[in-house]
Each structure stands twice: as structure tokens, then as C-alpha cells.
Chain A
Amino acid sequence: MYNYQHKGPKRGVSLYSYSADFGMIKNLEDCLEDMYDMGAHGLEILANTHIENYPNPTDAWVDEWFRLLNKYEIVPVEYGNWIDSHILGHRELTTEESYRMLARDIKLAAKLGFTVMRTKMPVIDDDLAPVKNWREFIEMALPLAEEYNIRMCPEIHTPTNLKSKMIDDYVEFIEKTGTKYFGLNIDFSVFRTEFGPGDHRSPKFTPNDPEDMIPLLPYIYCCHAKFNHMSDEFEETTIPFRRIIEVMQEHNWDGYLLSEYEGADKYTPGYEVGQTLRKQHIMLKRYLGD
């Protein structure tokens, strides 16, 4: 498997960015070739989207997966999975059922070469607080995650604040268990300072300073390099990317920044999200000195 030797923050892409095109005008190989053009080596997929016949891909598909990763010099970094506790509607899944869902994804992620999972938690309120039994099913899964070398990471996303009870609870869990197999994925939407007319801003949202990330860095196994607006001068105009990257470099953080473009305009017919990603990667290359 392709091995990218580079310490520090490095560039990658979440294929979620292609959500408006995937299956219609782009397939998996098209997305990976676009990444190769950008020199982006780190990959995030969404298991339920990008794995053919998920959760039971054929051996032929898995062989093709590794062929494509080698061809386009891609490192499988983060496997996006969901714990869908509310799947049945009339009742929540039990801890055991949630664990089984998680265990299935841990094994499949490892089979495809991933080392981190973006473990999307089911929520119980408008503040996106996770279900009450999250500690139980995560703790049940820790031995399996260790066996398969997978770090489960909930994604911390706007309007959540890095200085909040949710984050304190996650950190307390990590420190209490001493685990290296549960951590955080920070989505850079938490650092957004600029909103244009018509942009949605949750009343619950207060932007974090990039420095707020410092005490969390040991628990962050990858990040969503969320971006909203790239200028034609290759600057992101809503999130302080330069400072975020400086903070990570100053503290010797090592991991992937996975580009995630979520702008609703990508669903406009004719919108070319690949070009938007390329703009961001010019910016990231400059800031990273890559």
C-alpha cells in the first residue's frame, strides 16, 4: 500500500465533497484521480456511500479498491460511519445493537486499510448531545478497535463549541479509560468568523479561536478542513486557516486535514466542486509549505 512519509499536518480530501456528483457524473476512480491531480494523499470516504454493496463489499471490489489507492498514491485515512440509534423510529437501539453496528464498521474499515473512523453519534437534542449510552457502546468497542487499530472519532461540528460540556465529557472519557482508540475529529466550521448575507448562522454558535484547539491536540486524530468560500486569489474568506495551521505546526500535530466542501451551491447544476477543492489545495499547499 502507498506510504506517504511526511510529518505534521498534511492534505487530504473527504469524498463527501463530491456528494452532488457521485454516481451521476463521477465515480470513485474519478474522485481519486482528481485528488492525484491535487497531490492530496489522505482520503476520507463515507462507508454508506462509497463502498459498493456496503456493508458487504465483494472481494473483487476490495481488490479494485487497493489497486486504485496504489495507482493514485492515496492513503486511506478516515472511514465515515454512523451509529444510527434511531434507525427503527419506534425505539432506540440497545447498547448491544449499537455496538454490533459499530463492530461491523470497525472490521470493514480495517479491511480497507483505514486507521481512523469518523464515528457519527446519534443525538438527542438541538445541541447535538449524543445519546445517553454512548460511553457504554464505545467502551464495549474499545478492545475491538485496538485489535483492528482503529481510532473512533466523533466529529465536532458547528454549532458545538470546543469549550463545552460535550467536549469535556469526551476528554474525561479518554483520560479515564486511557484509550488511544477514541478521540476527536475537529471540523473547522467551529472556527468560522465570517458570514455573508444569506449564510445560515445558528444562534447557538460562538466561534472558537484556533488556540482553543491546543489542549485537545493530543486527542485529535484528523480534521475536517471545512471551507465555505474560496476566492480566485486562493484565500478562504470565512475561516482563519493560516492561524489554524500555524497552531497545529507550532504544537507538532501530525495528521491529515481532510477537505470538506459543504456549500449548498455544489448542488447547482454545472457547479464544479473539483475546481473549488483545487483552489483550497493551492491555499493549503502554500500554508503548509508543501
Chain B
Amino acid sequence: MLEREVIQSVGFRNIRENGSITGFQFKIRLPYYRGVFLCQLRPGTLFVDGERFEKEDIVWNVDGVDYTWEDMKTDMDTHWNVTRPAVLKVKKEGGLSQGFHDLTYGFCFTSSYMPPIMQDALDPDEEAVIFMPEFGKHVNSRRLIIV
């Protein structure tokens, strides 16, 4: 089952490849009331304890397949369902240290049935002018523990 928070607590861990820790991952759910195709997504910036990670450096894993930001921009066929969290993977040699970490991540998505003036102003790292709960917040934060 999903947690109500957009950033999920389950799935937050360091990534180990060939015996060494190469980065970390966490899961997010889509706070919109419907699923989206990957090209609808507007990924933004991740901050972990103030350290900044750009959208180009974050890989999205949807239903077991990795997508870079470049891959996602034109993908009109892969659908991210509201009931399946996406895994976000970030390269960071040595991973994150044991203990608490403050995560803040921004992303949003387009909706063709909303007035274009609202669509043009979409910014994943800033909230929309009018908050609509069925779209969720763009920027979400959570403090989570690495073991």
C-alpha cells in the first residue's frame, strides 16, 4: 500500500553495485488523481540536507524500467500509475550516511484540460498560484533515516 506522504519511507536506501555504494534511492507516489504519461512530467530539483541534485542527474524507475530526464521528455507511451510509486535513483559515491536526512523534491505535470495560462506557469520547484488538492503540492519534503 502507499503512504499518504508523496515521499515514501519504504524504499529509501543506498544503492550497492558490484560491492560498492554508488548512490541512493527513494520512492515517490503521484499525488494527482490520475496517472500520467512520462512526457507529461516536469521533474525538478532534489535537495538532500541542502545538497542540490539537478533533474538531469536523477533517474526515474517506473515499473522496473530506468528513464533519464531526456528519455522522459518524448515518452508518450509509458504510463505512471497512481497506485505504483516511482523509484528515484541518484548517483553519489559512498551514498548517504547513517542517520537522519532531509529530502526536498519538486515535480509537477501538465494537464491538457486546464487553461493554457496555468500550464505555461508550471514550475516543479514552486507551488502553483492556486493550490488544488487533487493535483497535490509540487514540492514535498520528508525527514527519513538511512540505516
Contact = CB atoms under 8 A, between A and B. Distances in A.
Contact of B83 (A25, A52, A86): A52
- Size category of the B interface is 20 to 34
A121 B113 contact: yes
Interface in B71-85: 74, 76, 79, 81-83
Contacts of A54: 35, 79, 81
Interface in A22-64: 22-25, 46, 48-49, 52-55
A48 B35 contact: yes
Interface in A8-25: 16, 19-20, 22-25
B76 A87 contact: yes
A25 B1 CA distance: 8
A89 B110 contact: yes
B33 A19 contact: yes
A124 interface: yes
Given A20-B133, A54-B81, A88 B76 contact: yes
Contacts of A269: 4
A232 interface: no
A126 to B, nearest CB: 5
A125 B117 CA distance: 8
B110 A86 contact: yes
A22 B84 CA distance: 12
A128 interface: yes
Contacts, number: 83
Contacts of B64: none
B36 interface: yes
Interface residues of A, number: 34
Interface string B26-61: 000100011111011000000000000000000000
Given A48-B34, A49-B33, A269-B4, A84 B81 contact: no
A89 B39 CA distance: 8
A55 B77 CA distance: 9
B99 interface: no
Interface in A94-110: none
A165 B126 CA distance: 36
B116 interface: yes
Contacts of A53: 81
A176 B98 CA distance: 69
Contacts of A128: 113, 115
Contact of A46 (B33, B74, B76, B117): B33
Contacts of B36: 48
B117 A126 contact: yes
A47 to B, nearest CB: 8
B134 interface: yes
Nearest to B115: A126
A267 interface: yes
5 contacts: A25-B1, A49-B34, A82-B113, A84-B37, A126-B115
Given A46-B33, A88-B39, A120-B112, 10 more contacts: A16-B33, A22-B33, A24-B4, A53-B81, A87-B37, A87-B112, A88-B74, A124-B116, A128-B115, A267-B134
Interface of B: 1-4, 29, 33-37, 39-40, 74, 76, 79, 81-83, 110, 112-117, 119, 132-134
Sorted nearest first, the 9 A-B pairs with minimum C-beta distance are A122-B112, A19-B33, A267-B133, A23-B83, A48-B34, A86-B112, A48-B35, A84-B112, A49-B34
